[in-house]
Amino acid sequence: MSALTKETSPAPAPRPVDKEPVRAGEHRGEGVVLNVFSHGFLAVWALLIVLPLLWLVLSSFKTDAQIGGSAFGWPEHWSLDVFSRAWDKGIGDYFLNTVIVLVFSVPLTMLFGSMAAYVLARYRFWGNRLLYYFFVAGAMFPVFLALVPLFFMVKRLDMLNTYQGLILVYVAYSMPFTVFFMHAFFRTLPTAVFEAAILDGASHTRTFFQVMLPMAKPGLISVGIFNTLGQWNQFILPTVLMQPQSGDDPERYVLTQGLIQLRQQQGYATDLPVLFAGVTLAMIPMLVVYLSFQKQVQAGLTSATLK
């Protein structure tokens, strides 16, 4: 009986291994070190961006002698005459040409890109993923490889040195990123709203423009800002496509071309304040646009991950 009792008696439970208690001070110290490192890195990054911009703006108020004598000193006389000189030397025309192109290219990019992204994100059909990857592959294709065939294609359409030619190229150039961004955003929108609109009798077109597109407003603002910045600062495409073909053709240079043209016009008689003033005039609109919609851009970038 005693032997049976020994065989059936439960084995003693293993003693828990004593773990060294984690001290709260260690976590606090690691958090402080991480915060100091991250904030220090962001401060250095901000200085690397702000200081060149500040130097550029201050140099616009100097003379050539002041820039050559003390490039990092403060201007002796604050005057806006240099900006009017830069505007009269052609910056005004280049600015207007850029605005004309972007007024049409950015809305068309947003319209066509959001429509393609919506169809690829909400409808299932044969070749859906293939078509989506086709758009995404366009973002990885270097534009330099397409300059020669693009030039002859636009020339065959008789659109060289025209607004419409550059607008269509800008739309095609910005479509891959727009489709990629908006596709991910449309997939996060609730399906119940889409199904409710269809059950209520709304057509697919009305559902897109009156229901789904207003819900995607944060994403539209974000990708619209990125497209505006990218097209405003584009240089290689207008350099190839916006060149006068004869002496009678007008010069429809955009800002990026105009700044190079302004530098070439000076020759050996350099006027650096005018050049700096032209760069400042080209930079200010984009800073105003980004700072005005900064919160909307952040909301659009984070909404997909939060949902």
Mean pLDDT (whole number) for 78-101: 88
Euclidean distance between CA atoms 157 and 149, whole angstroms: 12
Domain extents in the chain: 27-59, 81-306
Amino acid 6: pLDDT: 47
Q: Which fold has domain 81-306?
A: MetI-like fold (1.10.3720)
Distances (CA, A) of 103 to 99, 119, 286: 6, 25, 14
Q: Cα dihedral angle (140, 143, 48, 85), rounded to 10 degrees?
A: -150
Q: Which amino acid would we find at residue 168?
A: L
CB neighbour list of residue 194: distance below 8 Å, 6 or more residues apart: 122, 207, 211, 212
Q: What percent of the chain has pLDDT over 90?
A: 25
Mean pLDDT of all residues in 263-271: 71
Give the position of tokens 């008696």. Answer: 9
Give me the pLDDT at residue 303, please. Answer: 59
Q: What is the pLDDT of residues 95-131, one digit of tens each?
A: 999 999 999 999 999 999 999 999 998 888 888 899 9
Task: Kindly state the tokens that stand for 286.
Answer: 């984009």
**Segment holding 163, helix H or strand E:** helix 163-188
- For 170-196, the pLDDT digits (tens) are 999 999 999 998 998 888 888 888 888
Which comes out higher in pLDDT, residue 14 or 139? 139
Of 36-40, 213-217, 300-304, the one with minimum mean pLDDT is 300-304
> Average of pLDDT values for 38-52?
86
Question: What are the backbone dihedrals phi and psi of residue 152, each rounded to the nearest 5 degrees, phi first?
Answer: -70, -30
Cα–Cα distance measured from residue 86 to residue 273, given in angstroms and rounded to the nearest whole number: 9
Average pLDDT rounded to a whole number, residues 23-49? 74
pLDDT at 251: 81
Between 250 and 300, residue with greater pLDDT: 250
